[in-house]
Structure 1
Amino acid sequence: MADAPRARKLAERIQQIVARMLDTRIKDPRLGFVTVTDVRVTGDLQNATIFYTVLGDEQDRTSSAAALASAKGVIRSEVGKQTGIRLTPTIEFVLDAVPETAASLEEALRTAAQRDAEVARLAARASYAGDPDPYRRPAEDEDEADVAEVEAGDDGTGPGRAGDSGPGRP
């Protein structure tokens, strides 16, 4: 069984070979503008899955898939020649879903941005259900002098006042 780094190196090499072949050697008129996006090779180096995208509409995708299926044997033999490994992996072409996924993600982000803007617009003109400041504060209309007397301990009932016997006084 091959190790993972060897499978990665083989996958990169297969991607280069297939991309070059699609550009120069495969002359099928059904083949559209195809880009090889990724290649995955199994750990035993027996199977290679080639992911590709096609620029165009659904008809371009189906015709390119047919062209790739018909050129699969030529591509596999060229991969075997250029890689030099004992067993050439079988090749499978899979249409990559990256463009559709990206479009759906962009739509979801656009919808989220619209909702955020709506919430921000509603929050800008909203008012509090109760008081704007829900925390209790001391009354602000008290005289500062009254507060100072209480802090000093002189609240008018201390010693030396009329009617106060004080300590040691009868």
Structure 2
Amino acid sequence: MSTPNPRVAKLADQIREVVAGTLERRVKAPRLGFVTITEVRLTGDSREATIFYTAMGDAQQVAGTAAALESAKGMLRSTVGKRLGLRYAPSLEFVPDATPETAKNIEDLLARAAASDAEVAKLAEGKAPAGEADPYRKHEEE
């Protein structure tokens, strides 16, 4: 992946701030739960913005947050355009961020690996290796 254009990266960061602030102050949807905007990715021409978010709660609350974000999309797009002075406000797409689930999955795998290592270490206690202690062949100098 190439380094993004600095102007596009700055615009993406500004969009993240505007969307997060607008969600906090202006969107009063009862379905909107505790949501955090984690990242915004813009296309090279700045016409489309993919907004990654995390939402807290059970599956029903997360689904309600997704629906509230979808219904507020038009208002958020016009707010982004006005606040940033853009001639063409990018279209917005909200995508749930998979980072927390991925991190939890990795932590679970590491915990299982540590438990497995501890079990192997327990089984190996007091045991000696089969054969010689150093099983590798050594080339003797002549």
Report the Cα offset of residue 128 of structure 1. Answer: 3.2
- Deviations along 1:4-32, one digit per CA (max 9) or x if unpaired, are 11110010000000110111100000000
- The structure-2 alpha-carbon separation of the partners of 1:132 and 1:67, relative to structure 1 and needing over 3 Å to count, comes to closer
1:126 and 2:133 correspond? no
Q: Which blocks of at least 5 consecutive residues in structure 2 are unaligned?
A: 136-142
Report the Cα offset of residue 85 of structure 1. Answer: 2.0
In the alignment, the residues of structure 1 paired with residue 125 and residue 103 of structure 2 have an alpha-carbon distance, to the nearest angstrom, of 33
In the alignment, the residues of structure 2 paired with residue 23 and residue 102 of structure 1 have an alpha-carbon distance, to the nearest angstrom, of 26
The equivalent of 1:96 in structure 2 is: 97
* Count of residues in correspondence between the two structures: 133
What RMSD, in angstroms, separates the aligned Cα atoms of the two structures?
1.7
TM-score, L = length of structure 2: 0.87
Structure of greater relative contact order (alpha carbons < 8 Å, 6+ residues apart): 2
TM-score, L = length of structure 1: 0.73
In the alignment, the residues of structure 2 paired with residue 115 and residue 84 of structure 1 have an alpha-carbon distance, to the nearest angstrom, of 57
Report the Cα offset of residue 83 of structure 1. Answer: 1.0
Q: Matched residue of 1:121: which SS?
A: helix
- The structure-2 alpha-carbon separation of the partners of 1:133 and 1:82, relative to structure 1 and needing over 3 Å to count, comes to closer
* Alignment map for 1:1-170 (pairs within 5 Å): 4-130=5-131
Q: Which blocks of at least 5 consecutive residues in structure 1 are unaligned?
A: 135-170
- Deviations along 1:108-131, one digit per CA (max 9) or x if unpaired, are 000110111112222222123245
- Deviations along 1:78-125, one digit per CA (max 9) or x if unpaired, are 000011122110000001111111111111000110111112222222
Report the Cα offset of residue 33 of structure 1. Answer: 0.3
Identity of aligned residues (%): 55
Matched letter for residue 85 of structure 2: G
Report the Cα offset of residue 74 of structure 1. Answer: 0.4
- Deviations along 1:16-60, one digit per CA (max 9) or x if unpaired, are 001101111000000000000110011100000000010111101
In the alignment, the residues of structure 1 paired with residue 134 and residue 85 of structure 2 have an alpha-carbon distance, to the nearest angstrom, of 77
Answer with 1 or 2: which has the greater Rg. 1
In the alignment, the residues of structure 1 paired with residue 130 and residue 106 of structure 2 have an alpha-carbon distance, to the nearest angstrom, of 37
